[in-house]
Amino acid sequence: MKKFPSFSQWKQIFKVLKRGEKISLLVFFSLALVSFLWLTGSFYFNNTKIAPAAGGTYTEGMVGQPRFINPVYGETNDIDRTLLGLIFSGLMTYDGEGKLTKDLAQDYKILSNGKVYEFALKNDVFWHDGKPLTADDIVFTITTIQNPAHKSPLRANWIDVQAEKLSEKSVRFTLKAPYNSFLENLTVKIIPKHIWEGILPENFPLSLYNLQPVGSGPFTFLNLNQTDAGFIKTMRLESNRRYYQTASFIATMEFEFFEKKEDLVKAVNAGRLSAFSLAALDNNQVQVKQQIRQGWLNATEFATYSFSLPRYFAVFFNTQKTSLFADKNMRKAFSYATDKQDLTAKIQAGAGNNPVIIDSPILPNFFEYQKPANTYAFDMDLAKNLLDKTGFKENGSTPLTAGTQAVREKSTTKKPAFQFTAYLKVGSKGTAVTQLQACLAKLDENFKNILAPETGGTYSAITEQAVTEFQKKYLPNLKPTGETGESTRKKLNELCAAPSTNSQPLAFTLTTVNQPQLVEVANQLKHYWESVGATVTIHAVSLTDLKPIIKNRSYDALLYGEALGSQPDFYPFWHSSQRLDPGLNLSSYENKTVDQLLKESRETMDLLLKEQKLEKLQNIIIDDAPALFLYNPDYLYWVSDRVQGIAGGKIIDPAKRFIDATHWYIKTKRVWK
């Protein structure tokens, strides 16, 4: 039997093989090795998949800086709101479709027909400093917001709400009246009592914890950097590894803050940023594509994510009794005169932020309600007919500019304050005599001279003589009597007390925020409306300057946006009790039927009944036309293609783009299937 060669013998093989045999053997071994590696790799890749891995740094650029990363104050600032969502938690939160879901709450019950809400808290929730989160923190947060001394902008949401602790892990809220959108109030973020309870209300805004927050959310505060002038340049957060839900894959969230949008663009092109919001660059997608360098020459390639928001832009007509827009036909006329198809096409071409036409205040597409029964299709002829009904007629003059129509005018007749109605003769006295003498003196120098010695307010022979001369001149066919008979009074009224005719042009001011896209929309509306004979002045102001204008309702028409919630409550926007500040009824709209529907729709716990009442309400509001509903733009978000796991969809406000940030990832690994 032949013996298998030993290892030392195999080592001698190349000494006994010829050159060609050596090459053949090497080729064979190479092919065998390659085949082995290929089969091993193929087996590995076929039986594993790419999965997110922990690690990596995400860096976002923002224009502006944080001020109050404190739920008591920070809900009014976009940057603060964004950071609050990452650092803090609430009893309720939103899912990826903008719907309410439990957060700190393990469970909840709605009792007493919607007047009582009881919550049980999760057991494994800790503050970032290691202390447990309890019902005391919940109650402390709400009572702090309710305390007028803290001046919280959220206080109005918590009036007539009693918060009480039932146990270490349960709380109860008692409302004065049923309110079916109350769960949305409970998305408010909770602050730690053990940190804030010793700080006086007047010192709350000054506390270091406003910029070095301690929360219970998925990310913890790490550090911040400021310039010598105090401007916050960067803030870093790190993943909360003790987070009561799934901890984030991304290890570090970093935010860079810029004073000017031009500096943000430079940082993007320098490859320093992972993401930025289009809102920081005037919501102009077209312009941003020209400014941002992408591709192999630049380190970062960006993907654009689009989010739908429950918000809309509209023109709110001031319907106060002294306003031009108190006339329903006027409001309807400008609604028909607006070409929304053309308007949204121009917005898309200029900014590229996917505007969707809206016709209703309740956003039926977003909330899946029925669409309104009637809308205002573009119709110039109908618009002109309605303007005719308001009394503003075409005056036949030359148009102010090419492509527009002559300004419409409305003639009004004003009756004089005094008219001659009494029969006056020698011996008469009083105001009527004084008016008669003034009239005669004004009409003729001769009458004036005759009356010179007369005592004012006394009808003597001197006045009689002046009246006689008046009758001779203006009533030659009648025998002069020196007394104010019917014919004389008629002539006196004609000459001295005739009604005056005034001409009022169809002119008003459209007020809006001095933001490029809104100014562009305002100019387009001006073009539409001047085509039916209006003169429109655009008043574009900063947000700071707009606040007192809105507070005092000192505008004719306001081009502005309104944001709704996940469980929309339209009461603040359309109820007549909300016509004055701080109410949000920007049209000063009044309708008793609408008031009743608003009250019933917010109090019923029957969601189908609520839906039916809101659908009825939308049709009434659209018919009354207190506002011209225009469009709903998407929120656009540019993110490096290195960041994965982001899903577009519905969010309640821009800050909620991070609602599923714990699922985002930069690093990957392969795992067995």
Q: What is the pLDDT of residue 91?
A: 98
Q: What is the pLDDT of residue 456?
A: 74
Q: What is the pLDDT of residue 63?
A: 94
Confidence of residue 395 (pLDDT cuts 50, 70, 90): confident
Confidence of residue 82 (pLDDT cuts 50, 70, 90): very high
Q: pLDDT at residue 174 above 70? A: yes
Q: pLDDT at residue 397 above 70? A: no
Q: What is the pLDDT of residue 241?
A: 94
Q: pLDDT at residue 664 above 60? A: yes
DSSP H or E segment with residue 161: strand 161-167
DSSP H or E segment with residue 639: strand 635-640
Query: What does residue 535 show for φ and ψ, rounded to 5 degrees?
Result: -110, 115
Q: Which two tokens stand for residue 206?
A: 């000054």
Q: Which two tokens stand for residue 646?
A: 């982001």
Q: What is the pLDDT of residue 566?
A: 87
Confidence of residue 404 (pLDDT cuts 50, 70, 90): low
Q: pLDDT at residue 568 above 90? A: no
From the CB of residue 269, how many other CB atoms can be counted at a distance below 10 Å? 16
The most confident of 48-52, 192-196, 496-500, 658-662, by mean pLDDT: 192-196
Q: Report which DSSP code applies to 642.
A: T
User: In the chain, what are the domains?
Assistant: 48-88+217-309+635-673 (3.40.190.10), 89-201 (3.90.76.10), 311-411+505-632 (3.10.105.10), 431-498 (no CATH)
Q: What is the pLDDT of residue 631?
A: 96
SS3 category, 342: helix
From the CB of residue 112, how many other CB atoms can be counted at a distance below 10 Å? 10
Q: Which of 352, 304, 333 lies closest to 637, judged by CA?
A: 304
User: Mean pLDDT of all residues in the chain?
Assistant: 90
CA distance 362 to 598: 12
Q: What is the pLDDT of residue 538?
A: 97
Beta strands 507-513 and 557-563: pairing type? parallel
- pLDDT 10s digits, 274-322: 999 988 777 778 788 888 877 544 456 889 899 999 999 999 999 987 7
Q: What is the pLDDT of residue 299?
A: 52
- pLDDT 10s digits, 93-126: 999 888 999 999 999 999 999 999 999 999 999 9
Q: Which of 636, 633, 659 lies closest to 310, judged by CA?
A: 633
Q: What is the pLDDT of residue 5?
A: 66
Do 465 and 482 touch, CB atoms closer than 8 A? Answer: yes
The most confident of 406-410, 432-436, 591-595, 604-608, by mean pLDDT: 591-595
- Surface-to-core class of residue 264, CB atoms within 10 Å of its CB (0-12 exposed, 13-18 middle, 19+ buried): buried
Do 298 and 638 touch, CB atoms closer than 8 A? Answer: no
CA distance 236 to 224: 6
Confidence of residue 26 (pLDDT cuts 50, 70, 90): confident
Q: pLDDT at residue 331 above 90? A: yes
Q: Which two tokens stand for residue 276?
A: 């930025």
Q: What is the pLDDT of residue 68?
A: 94
- pLDDT 10s digits, 468-479: 999 999 999 999
Tell me the mean pLDDT in the region 417-442. 90
CA distance 67 to 70: 9
Tell me the mean pLDDT in the region 179-183. 95
Among 27-41, 366-380, 447-461, the minimum mean pLDDT is found in 27-41
- pLDDT 10s digits, 225-265: 999 999 999 999 999 999 999 999 999 999 999 999 999 99
CA distance 300 to 292: 10
Strand partners, 53: 667
Confidence of residue 32 (pLDDT cuts 50, 70, 90): confident
